[in-house]
């Protein structure tokens, strides 16, 4: 059973190779079957492994081959399946399969060749993501980390004929690379101090690291995470990444890749537990991102942009959870978020599909009647993300907020404010899309239809998961010993738990009371948003004041352009036009000219006259003698003569 | 011993074959078969199976290094005859005699890899050189060929005179021609004898002439350019490598290390610098590929001189590898050059379109000469430079050599550029499938040696 591990990434890799190499000769149904089937096969194996881990605990590390072997420096290409990675395996392959299935219908209008390319990229993405979570050391994780970054780039720019999309892809790539540098430096740091990058060995030797080492390593790893998981200051790529096909947004930019940073920190939890300063930084940045992105989401009119900022905001909550030491809560939120945010994106995709590519919610409205399944599944997801009990988002978000409350009640209050905004913008989105009067063109109205089964089935499955997925993590305050996830993940975070050994300071009654109050306020916000936006009338009047600032995303992109991008471009221009042209080229061409000149001169030695040649040879011989005509030889010579 | 006697006998057989064999095109098959016999006999000798047991009184001494080199030299000649046999036929009326002369050259080569006596060195050099004078002038109606032959002969005679002078001086100083005796005299001497140093210096100059090291290289471009291309190929490869082996046998470590009065390393570094400089720089400006290759052979000699500079085991290994890599690549390039209608750089324009396979293999040969990794040439250069670094000093010389290897990339890549990136209709003679197959095999050997040099060297040293 253990040796099945390698099959999990193998199937998507095979799917990638087949679809990628034969995309011109395969037909669309076959491409779809290969693409989705490979993920389904991985899902089945992941499920088997999950149950094995559940009953027997973590599997031993599975070395496949020696990856780097230079003298004492050895890195094995090894896989590690424990509670944390088996949970992520299920999320990746399970939701991955649903999204592949959905894509077979959503991407149906693409020509076969591009259809094949799409599935090849998607399979390659799943392969990389699986490597990321399966790797037994930081280097394998980094391979997956770079792999998902590449696939994200390729898929954002999937419609490469649109230059704006290419620009968005480039932006995502560059932003990620900034983070990757942090990750790499952290790995080097670990390697320099401990001589190994294997998780087991690193975590067993944490005592050898000084506080400064741990702080440096954790901060650098966190910088890597801010890139991949779109946190302040590196979050701006994620909203632009919506240029890619909508299922890609669902899979990569909501459910899986963007949670890689959370996985990485949860995996290294002991290091973070030992670095309280880093934890505070993470909590503050996470919370700031959560609230900041939520404010932007309030005023966005593009259905995918709203969801994108919502994703950034929810990721912020996850980092808040990591920062306050609620590792289980963060992972829990990764899981529930994967359910409801994938559902939201797929629902949005269904809407965009029906609207013939329209993404502006001001031009929608009243879709509930035309698209019943999309409507009710979307509604479930909205309730889940808003945190209405007993849907999944309630439990995971509550767990994070409760942990924040224990640390510092200020974190809690700001977090709750963000949660209220979440409820508001989600129901604004819902009401403007599905309720009220249809505001699009007649042609669009005529065209409106419910999506085919390949698209609605994933919606329904995800809706069920988003509704009941939270029940595996019912807090102690409501039902004792019902937090199955915590029990399951306990071995992963055991080291951290032992390190902290803090008792709960908040009583169950306080916790219950806070829950109740927040829930009531959230429902109030939902009702208000519902009533306000179901009567929305289209107007293209410009926003003013704060509204305008929010609609323009606090002008962060513009600030980055002015402060970082443009000065860099100016410097590059200077290097290209001045240093390169007159400096480097001058030197290189100068050397070339010099050699050419010497060649022309030296050539003249070859006169063709034998007499000259022999003269040169004799002269050279004499010179050689003179060079070595030192005192000893002279004295010898004189002795011989006289 | 096998190779010396058999090569002489086979040379005579080839001469008589012109009387008995009327079909000219059969001659190259006879020659190839003879070379194969020679190759097998020499390999047998390497494994201790000698056909002839003659007391040589240390006039000749056979050692592994020399015998391995024989294998390389005879093997390279075999490849050369197989690839270019047809063109040897075309170069004149006396086909059988050309092959006979090639066998005599090999006889000289085997003498040079085994001499134990200065007279044997002299005889070997002469047996090696005289057939070449004839081969250079084999294109009788071509004025350039005649001019080249007479120039070669004149300057060759001059260098022979210098060599004899050197041998005489050493005899005057030590009282013997035997290499062993000369060495022991050098080793035991407390002071320095002017006669021996001067003699050795003369010998050095004569050998430098033979391997075309600057500033004694002047004959090379004129002769290589004037001789029929097919014989230039032979001269620039097998013959030059043989001269190098003789050179390194002569200047064995004990001679140069003990005669402290002369800084031999300094002397060799002067030779190396001027050879690399003149070879590489002058090659840059050439308009004819053939003449460029003549200068390139001077430049490559500069690299092979490193073996004489460092004189350690690595240098000897490296010289074997270098000789093999350089000879194979150059034979391949010349085999294609002979087929070209126009041997200027322009003549190669667009060869990749008209003869893609030839262009591809030619590219591999050129890359090997330039010392690009994954070809035999890279490791050959690597061994040479590493042998210098092992001696512990003169690192600047290595840097200098690497810089000039970079310059050499320029003129080798000019050919590649012409073949692939210039528009034109390169004209070639008819190319047979067998020729193509031969080129592919040679290219494959170069790449395999480039990937697994250690395997090949280990196989040599079993």
Q: Say if B197 is an interface residue toward chain A (CB within 8 Å).
A: yes
In chain A, what percentage of residues exceed pLDDT 70? 97
Cross-chain residue pair B278–A605, CB shorter than 8 Å: yes
Between β-strands A73-79 and A62-70, what pairing exists: parallel, antiparallel or unpaired? antiparallel
- Give the closest residue to A251 by CA, choosing from A363, A114, A107: A107
Per-residue pLDDT at B140: 85
The whole-chain average pLDDT of chain B stands at 89
Confidence band for B254, pLDDT divided at 50, 70 and 90: low
Q: Closest to B201 (Cβ–Cβ): which among A602, A605, A625?
A: A625
Distance from CA of B332 to the nearest CA of A (A): 26
The CA angle B439-B4-B98, to the nearest 5 degrees, is 50
Nearest residue to A502 via CA among A282, A331, A324: A324
Mean pLDDT of all residues in A272-279: 91
Residues in chain B with CB shorter than 8 Å from the CB of A640 are: 194-195
For residue B192, pLDDT over 60 is answered with no
Does residue B256 carry a pLDDT above 70?
Answer: no
Distance of CA A193 to the CA centre of its chain: 28
Model pLDDT, residue B314: 85
Distance from CA of B122 to the nearest CA of A (A): 20
Is B30 at the interface with chain A, CB within 8 A? no
Distance CA B33, CA A366 (A): 93
Contact B281 A598 (CB under 8 A): yes
B219's CB contacts (< 8 A; 6+ apart) are A613, B151, B152, B155, B156, B209, B212
B221-235 exposure pattern, b = at least 16 Cβ within 10 A, e = fewer: bbbbbbbbbbbbbbb
Short-list B169, B132, B171, CA closest to B152: B132
Q: What is the pLDDT of residue A141?
A: 94
ipTM value > 0.90: no
**Could you give the CA distance from residue B238 to residue A368 in angstroms, rounded to a whole number?**
88
Q: Given pLDDT bands bounded at 50, 70 and 90, which one contains residue A607?
A: confident
Mean pLDDT for the stretch of residues B118-141? 92
pLDDT digits (tens, 9 = 90+) for A185-218: 999 999 998 888 999 889 988 888 888 999 999 9
Distance CA A201, CA B325 (A): 48
pLDDT tens profile B284-343: 888 999 999 999 999 999 999 999 888 888 888 889 889 999 999 999 999 999 999 989
Q: Does A594 touch chain B (CB under 8 A)?
A: no
B19 contacts: CB under 8 Å, gap ≥ 6: none
Q: Are A301 and A239 in contact (CB under 8 A)?
A: no
| B190 lies within 8 A of chain A by CB | no
Test B155 with A610 for CB contact under 8 angstroms: yes
For testing the chain A interface, which of B284, B298, B414 should be mutated: the one with the most A CBs within 10 Å?
B284
pTM of the model: 0.70
Judged by CB atoms closer than 8 Å, whether chains meet at B261 and A616 is answered as no
Beta carbons of B199 and B169 less than 8 angstroms apart: yes
pLDDT surpasses 90 at A108: no
Chain A 595-634, CB below 8 Å of chain B: which residues? 595-596, 598-600, 602-603, 605-606, 608, 610, 612-614, 616-617, 620-621, 624-625, 627-628, 630, 632-633
Q: What integer is the mean pLDDT of A482-494? A: 86
Nearest to B261 among A606, A614, A633 (CB): A633
**Alpha-carbon span A362 to B403, nearest angstrom:** 68
| Residue of chain B whose alpha carbon sits nearest to that of A630 | B261
Residues of B within 8 A of A626 (CB-CB) are: none
Instruction: Categorize the per-residue pLDDT at B462 as very low, low, confident or very high, splitting at 50, 70 and 90.
Output: very low
For the segment B65-91, the average pLDDT, to the nearest whole number, is 90
Chain B residues within an 8 Å CB radius of A630: 261
**B409-438, pLDDT tens digit by residue?**
999 999 999 999 999 888 888 889 989 999
What is the structure's pLDDT at A504? Answer: 63
Q: Are A606 and B221 an interchain contact pair (Cβ–Cβ within 8 Å)? A: yes
A6 CB-near residues (< 8 Å, 6+ apart): A62, A64, A79
Residue B218 forms contact with A (CB below 8 Å)? yes
Q: Which of A326, A344, A340 is nearest to A279 (CA)?
A: A326
Angle at which helix A610-627 crosses helix B264-284, to 10 degrees, equals: 150
A chain contacts of residue B198, beta-carbon cutoff 8 Å: 625
- At residue A635 the predicted structure's pLDDT band, cuts being 50, 70 and 90, is low
- Please classify residue B28 by burial: count the beta carbons closer than 10 Å to its beta carbon, then call 0-12 exposed, 13-18 middle and 19+ buried: buried
Residues of A231-244 as b/e, b for ≥16 C-beta within 10 angstroms? Answer: bbebbbbbbbbbbb
- Residues ≥6 apart with Cβ < 8 Å to A259: A229, A315, A318, A334, A337, A338
Q: Alpha-carbon distance B292 to A114, whole Å?
A: 50
**B31 contacts B77 by C-beta, under 8 angstroms:** no
Rounded Cα distance between A406 and B351, Å, is 78
B272 in contact with chain A, both atoms CB, cutoff 8 A: no
Residue B257: pLDDT above 70?
Answer: no
From chain B, the residues in CB contact with A599 under 8 A are: 281-285
- Top-confidence residue, A637 or B20: B20
* Interface contact A357, partner B, CB < 8 A: no
**Does the beta-carbon distance from A603 to B285 stay under 8 Å?**
yes
Q: Do the Cβ atoms of A632 and B261 come within 8 Å? A: yes
Q: What is the pLDDT of residue B253?
A: 57
CB within 8 Å: B284 and A595: yes
- Is it the case that residue A307 has pLDDT exceeding 70? yes
Question: A541 at the B interface (CB within 8 A)?
Answer: no
Best to test chain A binding among B191, B193, B282 (most A CBs inside 10 Å): B282
In this predicted model, what pLDDT tens digit does every residue of A370-427 receive, in sequence order?
Answer: 889 999 999 999 999 998 888 999 999 999 999 998 888 899 999 999 999 999 999 9
Of B151, B215, B285, the CB nearest to A610: B151
Tell me what the mean pLDDT of segment B398-414 comes to. 92
Query: Which among B193, B218, B267 has CB closest to A617?
Result: B218
**Are the beta carbons of A620 and B218 separated by less than 8 Å?**
no
- Beta-bridge partners for A63: A78
Query: What single string gives the DSSP state of each residue in B93-111?
Result: S-HHHHHHHHHHHHHHHHH
| Min Cα–Cα distance to chain A from B192, Å | 7
d(CA A19, CA A32): 9
pLDDT of residue A428: 93
Average pLDDT over residues B197-212: 90
**Chain Cα centroid distance, residue B378:** 18
pLDDT, tens only, A518-572? 999 999 999 999 988 888 877 777 777 788 888 888 888 888 888 888 999 999 9
Asked whether the predicted pLDDT for residue A336 surpasses 50, the reply is yes
Inter-residue contact B214 to B277 (CB < 8 Å)? yes
Kindly report, residue by residue over A227-262, the tens digit of the pLDDT.
999 998 889 899 999 988 999 999 999 889 999 999
**Can you spell out the DSSP letters for A428-475?**
HHHHHHHSS---S-HHHHHH--PPPHHHHHHHHHHHHHHHHGGGGB--
How many CB pairs lie under 8 A apart between chains A and B?
86
Spell out the residues 6+ positions from residue A254 whose beta carbon is closer than 8 angstroms to its own.
A307, A311, A337, A338, A341, A342, A344, A345
Contact between B407 and A595 using a beta-carbon 8 Å cutoff = yes
Q: What residue in B sits closest to A616 (Cα-Cα)?
A: B215
**What's chain A's average pLDDT?**
88
* Range A310-313, long-range pairs (CB < 8 A, 24+ positions): A310/A341, A310/A344, A310/A385, A310/A422, A310/A425, A310/A426, A311/A230, A311/A238, A311/A253, A311/A254, A311/A258, A311/A337, A311/A341, A312/A230, A312/A231, A312/A235, A312/A238, A312/A239, A313/A289, A313/A418, A313/A422
Task: Supply the pLDDT for residue A491.
Answer: 87
Contact A336, A469 (CB under 8 A): yes
DSSP per residue, B42-108: HHHHHTT--S-----TTSB---HHHHHHHHHHHHHHHHHHHHHHHHHHHT-S-HHHHHHHHHHHHHH
**Inter-chain touch A633–B263, beta carbons under 8 Å:** no
For residue B251, pLDDT beyond 90? no
Task: Please tell me the distance in Å from A613's CA to the nearest CA on chain B.
Answer: 6
CB distance from B278 to chain A under 8 Å? yes
Say yes or no for a CB contact (<8 Å) between A621 and B162. Answer: yes
Chain B residue with CA closest to A610: the answer is: B151
Q: Which of A52, A51, A20, A55 is nearest to A38 (CA)?
A: A20
Put simply, the answer to whether B205 touches A617 (Cβ < 8 Å) is yes
pLDDT band at A642 (very low <50, low <70, confident <90, very high): low
pLDDT for residue A443: 83
Section B359-386 average pLDDT:
93
Distance CA B336, CA B317 (A): 29
Other CB atoms within a 10 A radius of the CB of residue B416 amount to 19
Contact A617 B216 (CB under 8 A): yes
């Amino acid at each position: 059973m253990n040796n099945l591990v390698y099959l999990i990434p193998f199937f998507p890799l095979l799917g990638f190779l087949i679809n990628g190499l034969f995309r011109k000769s395969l037909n669309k149904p076959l491409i779809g079957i290969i693409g989705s089937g490979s993920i389904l096969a991985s899902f089945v194996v992941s499920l088997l492994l999950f149950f094995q881990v559940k009953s027997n605990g973590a599997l031993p590390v599975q070395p496949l081959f020696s990856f780097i072997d230079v003298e004492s420096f050895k890195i094995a290409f090894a896989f590690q399946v424990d509670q944390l990675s088996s949970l992520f395996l299920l999320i990746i392959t399970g939701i991955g399969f649903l999204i592949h299935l959905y894509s077979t219908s959503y991407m149906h209008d693409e020509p076969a060749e591009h259809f094949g390319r799409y599935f090849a990229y998607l399979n390659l993405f799943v392969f990389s993501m699986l490597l990321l979570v399966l790797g037994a050391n930081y280097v394998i994780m980094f391979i997956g980390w770079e792999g998902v970054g590449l696939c994200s780039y390729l898929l954002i720019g999937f419609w490469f004929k649109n230059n704006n999309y290419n620009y968005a892809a480039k932006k995502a790539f560059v932003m990620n690379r900034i983070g990757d540098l942090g990750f790499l430096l952290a790995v080097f740091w670990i390697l320099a101090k401990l001589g190994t990058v294997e998780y087991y060995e690193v975590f067993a030797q944490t005592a050898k690291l000084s506080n400064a080492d741990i702080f440096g390593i954790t901060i650098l790893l966190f910088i890597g995470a801010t890139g991949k998981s779109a946190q302040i200051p590196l979050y701006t790529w994620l909203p632009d990444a919506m240029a890619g096909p909508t299922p890609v947004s669902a899979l990569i930019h909501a459910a899986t890749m963007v949670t890689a940073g959370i996985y990485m920190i949860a995996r290294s939890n002991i290091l973070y537990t030992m670095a309280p300063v880093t934890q505070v930084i993470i909590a503050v940045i996470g919370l700031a991102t959560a609230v900041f992105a939520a404010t932007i989401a309030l005023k966005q009119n593009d259905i995918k942009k709203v969801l994108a900022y919502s994703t950034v905001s929810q990721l912020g909550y996850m980092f808040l959870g990591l920062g306050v030491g609620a590792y289980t809560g963060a992972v829990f939120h990764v899981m529930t978020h994967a359910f409801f945010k994938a559902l939201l994106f797929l629902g949005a995709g269904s809407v965009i599909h029906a609207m013939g590519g329209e993404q502006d919610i001001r031009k929608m409205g009243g879709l509930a009647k035309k698209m019943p399944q999309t409507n009710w599944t979307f509604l479930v997801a909205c309730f889940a993300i808003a945190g209405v009990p007993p849907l999944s988002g309630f439990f995971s978000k509550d767990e994070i907020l409760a942990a924040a409350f224990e640390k510092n009640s200020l974190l809690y209050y700001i977090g709750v404010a963000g949660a209220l905004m979440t409820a508001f913008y989600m129901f604004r989105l819902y009401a403007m899309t599905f309720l009220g009067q249809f505001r699009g063109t007649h042609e669009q109205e005529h065209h409106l239809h419910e999506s085919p089964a390949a698209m609605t089935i994933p919606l329904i499955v995800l809706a069920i998961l988003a509704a009941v997925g939270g029940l595996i993590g019912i807090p102690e305050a409501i039902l004792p010993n019902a937090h199955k996830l915590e029990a399951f993940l306990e071995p992963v975070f055991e080291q951290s738990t032992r390190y902290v050994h803090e008792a709960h300071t908040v009583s169950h009654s306080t916790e219950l009371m806070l829950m109740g109050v927040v829930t009531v306020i959230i429902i109030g916000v939902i009702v208000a948003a519902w009533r306000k936006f179901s009567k929305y009338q289209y107007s293209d009047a410009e926003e003013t004041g704060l509204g305008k600032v929010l609609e323009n995303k606090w002008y962060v992109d513009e600030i980055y352009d002015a402060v970082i991008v443009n000065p860099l471009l100016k410097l590059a221009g200077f290097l290209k036009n001045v240093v390169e042209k007159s400096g480097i080229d001058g030197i290189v061409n100068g050397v070339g000219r010099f050699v050419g000149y010497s060649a022309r001169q030296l050539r003249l030695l070859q006169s063709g006259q034998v007499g000259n040649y022999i003269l040169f040879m004799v002269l050279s011989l004499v010179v050689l003698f003179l060079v070595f005509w030192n005192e000893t030889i002279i004295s010898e010579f004189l002795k011989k003569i006289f | 011993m096998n190779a010396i006697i058999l090569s002489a006998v086979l040379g005579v057989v080839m001469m008589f074959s012109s009387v008995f064999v009327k079909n000219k095109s059969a001659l190259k098959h006879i020659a190839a078969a003879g070379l194969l016999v020679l190759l097998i006999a020499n390999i047998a000798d390497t494994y201790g199976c000698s056909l002839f047991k003659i007391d040589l009184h240390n006039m000749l001494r056979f050692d592994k290094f020399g015998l391995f080199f024989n294998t390389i030299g005879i093997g390279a000649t075999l490849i050369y005859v197989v690839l270019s046999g047809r063109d040897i036929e075309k170069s004149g009326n006396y086909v059988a005699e050309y092959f006979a002369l090639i066998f005599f050259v090999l006889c000289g080569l085997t003498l040079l890899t085994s001499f134990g006596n200065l007279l044997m060195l002299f005889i070997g050099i002469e047996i090696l050189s005289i057939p070449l004078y004839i081969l250079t002038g084999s294109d009788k109606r071509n004025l350039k060929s005649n001019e080249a032959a007479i120039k070669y002969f004149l300057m060759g005679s001059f260098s022979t005179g210098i060599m004899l002078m050197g041998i005489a001086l050493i005899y005057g100083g030590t009282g013997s021609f035997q290499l062993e005796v000369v060495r022991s005299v050098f080793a035991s001497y407390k002071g320095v004898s002017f006669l021996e140093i001067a003699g050795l210096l003369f010998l050095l100059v004569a050998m430098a002439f033979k391997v075309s090291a600057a500033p004694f290289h002047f004959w090379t471009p004129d002769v290589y350019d004037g001789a029929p291309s097919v014989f230039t190929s032979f001269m620039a490869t097998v013959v030059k490598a043989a001269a190098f082996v003789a050179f390194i046998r002569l200047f064995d470590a004990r001679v140069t290390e003990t005669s402290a009065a002369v800084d031999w390393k300094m002397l060799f570094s002067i030779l190396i610098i001027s050879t690399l400089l003149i070879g590489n720089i002058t090659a840059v400006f050439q308009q004819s590929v053939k003449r460029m290759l003549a200068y390139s052979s001077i430049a490559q000699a500069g690299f092979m001189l490193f073996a004489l500079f460092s004189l350690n085991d690595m240098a000897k290994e490296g010289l074997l590898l270098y000789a093999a890599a350089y000879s194979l690549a150059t034979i391949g390039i010349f085999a294609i050059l002979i087929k070209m209608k126009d041997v200027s750089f322009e003549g190669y324009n667009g060869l990749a379109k008209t003869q893609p396979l030839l262009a591809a293999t030619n590219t591999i040969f050129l890359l090997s000469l330039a010392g690009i990794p994954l070809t035999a040439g890279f490791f050959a250069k690597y061994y040479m430079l590493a042998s210098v670094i092992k001696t512990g000093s003169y690192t600047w010389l290595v840097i200098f050599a690497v810089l000039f290897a970079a310059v050499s990339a320029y003129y080798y890549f000019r050919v590649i550029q012409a073949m692939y990136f210039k528009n034109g209709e390169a004209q070639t003679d008819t190319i047979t499938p067998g020729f193509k197959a031969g080129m592919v095999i040679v290219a494959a050997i170069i790449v395999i040696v480039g990937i697994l040099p250690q395997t090949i060297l280990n196989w040599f040293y079993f």
